[in-house]
Structure 1
């Protein structure tokens, strides 16, 4: 008997599932009122009322030539207290609709029938033999009807063999699966113990242009746990989080895994971090509480995510409070959260607290971003704590934070404002030793800072270094440099660099030429002065009277004093004023 049943089932399956049905508009269905006579309907109803049995309903439907009238009768019967809906009545009605190609109602009835808890599904498949002729019309079953059929097969526990036969026929008919279709396939494989095949189908979902949803992960996670494959279940849970499935679903599955003893601290951290990234700090805080109740202690990544979220929301008081908990537990934040906390405290003018956070993490070797360090040092300098700013820079270097020129420049300007030129020289030496890279703007800014009586020699060295690296100051800085070098008789130290600037930029005025030529001759470097004189003459300019007298050697002591007075017009306060302007 069993072999005969299987044979009938297989035969019915091939006859049924080769049929290809498609949706058509409901407008193709004739209106029931226009096709079915009211008197015929009343007669059929009276007949059924006298003998309300499924077999009687089947005979009435078979004997009704009008499919619309037959559908009205079937719908009436389905609403009676005593259910007349059986596999046979559905088979009869679907066959009637197939004959007139009423695919819309046929799909609907197909879904209803498969969802019935009928004991013998093979009868249902045999009943579909009546739609075999639809194949010749190149009809295709709708996706919703296919999913309804697969759902019915899984819910009724029809077994993997029958499910796969139906699924393969659906694929052959040209119906493209969606995520629901693939979820039923994965569930059928898992329930039959083919978890590895289910995982293969999961990996192939992208090739079928489908993305797994939270239900996909739920099916697989439960199956893996039931087969004692806990590690794979946790890995799949992480993948679900990476794909950003619904966070509420992730919490639900997290609790399921926790109840099975499969989660660790990292699992909680990932979920909490996702809530923090969405700015849902309330939910993240609740999860931390549940995490603690579950005997898991929040680690550095958990606290880092929470503090980072507080900082993004501008809740610096809460962020600082969470940092206190971090320090009590002798933990540290990651570099990003650490830097964000320092920045938000600096923005809110809580520099002492920012320094506290910085020093705490420096002891643990944590590095700070350049932007955060600059804000921290600038806050100290603006409050007059220059020595503290220098110490902060040294601590940052020790923990691996690379200082940019902007960091140094903040301190340099503050030191110059306090007339601490010697300290500027020490800081500059540290810059050189630490390999701080300077661009043209940085060199120019630093050069202007060094144009003082105490650091003019270092300014000459810096200018030569600048030009050797193919950087040139702007016109204003260049003229300041020439004036100050002439004033302190240091033009000979920078003569070659000045000549490079003149040859390259070509924007030197006659006044600057005269200062350079006169100054070099005065310093005893007439050959170098002649090079600038040649440049000047090529441009069609001639030296002024004083420069001419120096060139011909006719300058006396009185004229020398007059020239000195000329250079004194670049008064001593000029450089100081420039530096003060830079600080403003």
Structure 2
């Protein structure tokens, strides 16, 4: 087999298959084994070589050689020892000694020398060579050295050895697992068939997986249907590949149909199949199929692992199928597995989701749950339902049973604050302190939110100052509420202090809150402060949204500082912030204000190319600006893209474009836009019509009122008719 490898394999430095025997000449063989001690005096490994040779001179046999080589630290010295042994009379290398040196060279990436010894091994016709090389291939595969494994496999074939289908499957599976491109996998599969190896179901499964990885769904399903023609029957791994691959592509119904086919064929899944497919169906919210597989798993004698129970119970609670979830919990306990607290939390959340709070409470009592998290879940459920009285009563019960913590109190206090119940909050806080629980940062964060909800921003600010004095930190939402609240009462200095403290603590601010603060500064004309604020927020990790940039750019334009818009725009690009329609609008406005026609044309083209459509006001402004500077012809292609869409260009805009192109000498382009206009049932205004038929000369336009002043007029058929009668 002297076939040439395709480019994808050559790029991985795999030598051309079948050419190994070509580049190793008899001369190379001879010189490879010459040991020139004169040239090796300066080699760092020479001392180790000499010491090892002393050990072997009077006792040289294969096992002893392998032990000495194992104790040799330097690979070059080991190779030299191996070559020295080759020259000794009455000694012949065995398959074991060759496989040792081949493995070491391959693991070091020395493919050339590895190839040489592979061929020497084949020429020596060592006994049990095939049995010795197969583990070498396995070792290469386990260590992700597929190039070396492929070389050894090919040399075996050249030596008329016939590796088993298992060895080929190991290689094929590794190619797929390593994410090799499909052409590499297909090439190896074809070479395998050419070598007379009959593919088995494992081979076809690897090929099926490779087809899915290459997103060849139709071909993969066709390959599955052809398995019987190749004498193979699908196994659980086959259906696992089908189900997981289809679910990953949101083709859930198709995966269910294959699962049904698996049942019909009476194909029995193994433990791996169930451990993978049950979570997959849970992730795509198909508890019916997940529970069906679970029952099959149990009937097959497999005991599910804890994570299978956990994800299945969670899925059932979310849907919600609580009776089935509780049965699974009982089954889990019967098998000797101890449920984690999260499992009970999921069931409690399921009860709360459907408003069955009494059932949730009974469930916790019946199971004698002493962990705090499930009880906190029920407490949170009461609060989310707005039943604060029962939440408080249940919290008291938790305190009496000594299963409450500070977070339990913060749950109730936070929800009361978020709903404006500040008075009740302080009553609960007093009870908390009396019960010997110390208020933590979460409590103070909740109090700040509560004060902001009732618009007591001064009190919230005092709380913040107290927390700052303690070098404590509030939570993310509390800072956001406080900053936005201070902006509403025009306390921008204080809001900036909050942001500065957050920044020094490495705490980011909510993007929407930053927008509120920046807008407040821009509205008051304090552009320097707004820009510094953006830099401060960026240093704390706060993400600046396009709205923040747009707000500052608007402010710069409104304060006659449009020349700085491009600077901010460049910073926006450097920080990787996406451009939205409003950002494009303000940038185009800035370009127009600075008379930057080239930049305006480029930006306008980029905007439309990215799928953004300017509104009527922005589009009219760009068209008038470019027409005024006789540059409409530079954006004709972009205008045509917009004209191809309905309700983007209105008649007045067509008049601007047609008139402007005529003035620029682009009569052909102007006529094309006129045709588009007439196709829509619109007619040009009097000025444009006069230019088209020649009744208004260019001299008249240049000498009279600016022609663009007339573009805002609506089309009037009567005017055009009157013009024609004249």
Taking structure 2 as the reference length, the TM-score comes to 0.41
Shift of 1:379: 1.2
Asked if 1:361 is matched to 2:502, the reply is yes
User: Which residue number corresponds to residue 106 of structure 1?
Assistant: none
User: Which residue number corresponds to residue 466 of structure 1?
Assistant: 607
Note if contact 1:517-1:533 (Cα within 8 Å) is conserved in structure 2: no
Q: Structure 1: how far apart are the matches of 2:476 and 2:443?
A: 14
Deviations 1:17-72 (A, max 9, x none): xxxxxxxxxxxxxxxxxxxxxxxxxxxxxxxxxxxxxxxxxxxxxxxxxxxxxxxx
User: Structure 1 residues 535 and 526 mapped into 2: Cα distance closer, same or farther (>3 Å)?
Assistant: same
Shift of 1:420: 0.6
Note if contact 2:391-2:412 (Cα within 8 Å) is conserved in structure 1: yes
| Aligned counterpart for 1:515 among listed residues 639, 642, 659 | 659
Shift of 1:423: 0.9
Deviations 1:203-231 (A, max 9, x none): 9997xx9753899699789xx6xxxxxx8
Deviations 1:391-417 (A, max 9, x none): 222333444444343322321221112
Asked if 1:212 is matched to 2:358, the reply is yes
Map 1:348-387 to 2 at 5 A.
Answer: 348-387=489-528
User: Structure 1 residues 283 and 440 mapped into 2: Cα distance closer, same or farther (>3 Å)?
Assistant: closer
User: Structure 1 residues 548 and 211 mapped into 2: Cα distance closer, same or farther (>3 Å)?
Assistant: closer
User: Which residue number corresponds to residue 380 of structure 2?
Assistant: 242
More displaced stretch, 537-546 vs 487-496: 537-546
User: Which residue number corresponds to residue 627 of structure 2?
Assistant: 486
Map 1:559-570 to 2 at 5 A.
Answer: 559=699, 563-564=701-702, 568=706, 570=708
What is the aligned residue count? 349
User: Structure 1 residues 536 and 315 mapped into 2: Cα distance closer, same or farther (>3 Å)?
Assistant: closer
Note if contact 2:550-2:582 (Cα within 8 Å) is conserved in structure 1: no
SS at match of 2:664: helix
User: Which residue number corresponds to residue 151 of structure 1?
Assistant: none
User: Which residue number corresponds to residue 450 of structure 1?
Assistant: 591
Note if contact 2:554-2:586 (Cα within 8 Å) is conserved in structure 1: no
User: Structure 1 residues 500 and 565 mapped into 2: Cα distance closer, same or farther (>3 Å)?
Assistant: farther
Shift of 1:479: 3.5
Q: Structure 2: how far apart are the matches of 1:278 and 1:423?
A: 44
Shift of 1:540: 7.8
Q: Structure 2: how far apart are the matches of 1:210 and 1:263?
A: 22
User: Structure 1 residues 470 and 548 mapped into 2: Cα distance closer, same or farther (>3 Å)?
Assistant: farther
Taking structure 1 as the reference length, the TM-score comes to 0.50
Note if contact 1:304-1:334 (Cα within 8 Å) is conserved in structure 2: yes
User: Which residue number corresponds to residue 449 of structure 2?
Assistant: 308
CA-based RMSD: 4.3
User: Structure 1 residues 410 and 252 mapped into 2: Cα distance closer, same or farther (>3 Å)?
Assistant: same
More displaced stretch, 465-474 vs 508-517: 508-517
Note if contact 1:214-1:246 (Cα within 8 Å) is conserved in structure 2: no
Q: Structure 2: how far apart are the matches of 1:285 and 1:377?
A: 34
Note if contact 1:377-1:389 (Cα within 8 Å) is conserved in structure 2: yes
User: Structure 1 residues 264 and 501 mapped into 2: Cα distance closer, same or farther (>3 Å)?
Assistant: closer
User: Which residue number corresponds to residue 117 of structure 1?
Assistant: none
Shift of 1:299: 2.3
User: Structure 1 residues 404 and 278 mapped into 2: Cα distance closer, same or farther (>3 Å)?
Assistant: closer
Note if contact 1:514-1:544 (Cα within 8 Å) is conserved in structure 2: no
Shift of 1:308: 1.2
SS at match of 1:473: coil
Shift of 1:485: 0.9
Q: Structure 1: how far apart are the matches of 2:640 and 2:622?
A: 13
Deviations 1:249-270 (A, max 9, x none): 3453354356xxx654323323
| Aligned counterpart for 2:370 among listed residues 198, 220, 232 | 232
Q: Structure 2: how far apart are the matches of 1:471 and 1:322?
A: 45
Shift of 1:516: 2.6
| Aligned counterpart for 2:546 among listed residues 402, 405, 429 | 405
Note if contact 2:420-2:454 (Cα within 8 Å) is conserved in structure 1: yes
SS at match of 2:499: helix
Q: Structure 1: how far apart are the matches of 2:631 and 2:430?
A: 71
User: Which residue number corresponds to residue 183 of structure 1?
Assistant: none
SS at match of 2:396: helix
Note if contact 2:361-2:378 (Cα within 8 Å) is conserved in structure 1: no
More displaced stretch, 446-455 vs 406-415: 446-455
User: Which residue number corresponds to residue 391 of structure 1?
Assistant: 532
Deviations 1:313-342 (A, max 9, x none): 222122111111221221222222211111
Note if contact 2:413-2:425 (Cα within 8 Å) is conserved in structure 1: yes
Q: Structure 1: how far apart are the matches of 2:617 and 2:391?
A: 60
- Answer 1 or 2: higher relative contact order, Cα 8 Å, separation at least 6: 1
Q: Structure 2: how far apart are the matches of 1:403 and 1:215?
A: 45
Shift of 1:449: 4.5
Q: Structure 1: how far apart are the matches of 2:655 and 2:357?
A: 75
Q: Structure 1: how far apart are the matches of 2:617 and 2:480?
A: 38
Map 1:23-422 to 2 at 5 A.
Answer: 211-212=357-358, 232=370, 234-235=372-373, 237-244=375-382, 246-257=390-401, 263-277=404-418, 279-289=420-430, 291=432, 296-422=437-563
More displaced stretch, 379-388 vs 429-438: 429-438
SS at match of 2:588: helix
Give structure 2 stretches of 5+ with no counterpart: 1-343, 383-388, 713-726
Q: Structure 2: how far apart are the matches of 1:252 and 1:297?
A: 16
Q: Structure 2: how far apart are the matches of 1:370 and 1:484?
A: 34
Q: Structure 2: how far apart are the matches of 1:528 and 1:240?
A: 71
SS at match of 1:232: coil
Note if contact 2:419-2:453 (Cα within 8 Å) is conserved in structure 1: no
User: Structure 1 residues 427 and 278 mapped into 2: Cα distance closer, same or farther (>3 Å)?
Assistant: closer
Note if contact 2:565-2:587 (Cα within 8 Å) is conserved in structure 1: no
| Aligned counterpart for 1:425 among listed residues 566, 579, 594 | 566
Shift of 1:454: 3.9
Note if contact 1:247-1:275 (Cα within 8 Å) is conserved in structure 2: no
